Chains A and B, each alone.
Chain A
């Protein structure tokens, strides 16, 4: 079974509108972290936002917010007021074993969602 599932291969949104990118995850570890990265066409991986499994509030970073629903194991990224520069591939990722000493800090990635912002 996939640990990170992004069901939307591609999404379109009009400039200035909000968009939600879906991410569901699968883990039995009680301590984990969820990340979103942006990859523009130039190829670099840009960190956007982080949510810890024990965090009480949903994470927010500027126009990015993470809709964390722990019971449903979902961590959707919400981008408000989309801009043309938001057009990129978006990856959801998870790190398990946050409180286990010596564990691999590996990020398990989903396959990504290609977001296109239309003018």
Chain B
């Protein structure tokens, strides 16, 4: 089944404790992206990747890191989480040369205390 998976789905952590949210897709998509969703603000892009080893900042990159060492994986790293990073996070992927749909993962609900 074609899908984007994220882990963990739910996470409660404390300020300053490094964490990684994993994202994996099995559709051989070149493009992958991370969004965060906050009430009243919709979804905003954090980082994106056009292909392996090619990443760039989105609209709200502060406090986040990413890497793209393999085509299927695009982990989101919070080196020192803070309470303002409490949010619902989505990973998405798509082809770059064909098709228009961006496939979304199920979301990761993160709470930073």
Contacts and interface: CB of A to CB of B under 8 A. Distances in A.
Contacts of B109: 43
A33 B109 CA distance: 28
What's the interface size class on A, roughly?
20 to 34
B100 A43 contact: no
Interface of B is mostly: strand
* Residue among A44, A93, A107 having the largest count of chain B Cβ atoms under 10 Å: A107
B66 to A, nearest CB: 14
B102 A47 contact: yes
Contact of B33 (A43, A44, A105): A105
Given A106-B33, A106-B48, A107-B43, A44 B106 contact: yes
What's the interface size class on B, roughly?
20 to 34
B74 interface: no
B95 to A, nearest CB: 9
A98 B41 CA distance: 24
A50 B100 contact: yes
Interface stretch (A17-25, A75-83, A109-117): A109-117
Given A91-B42, A107-B102, A111-B40, 14 more contacts: A43-B88, A43-B106, A47-B102, A50-B100, A91-B43, A93-B43, A102-B50, A104-B50, A104-B56, A105-B31, A105-B50, A105-B94, A105-B96, A107-B92
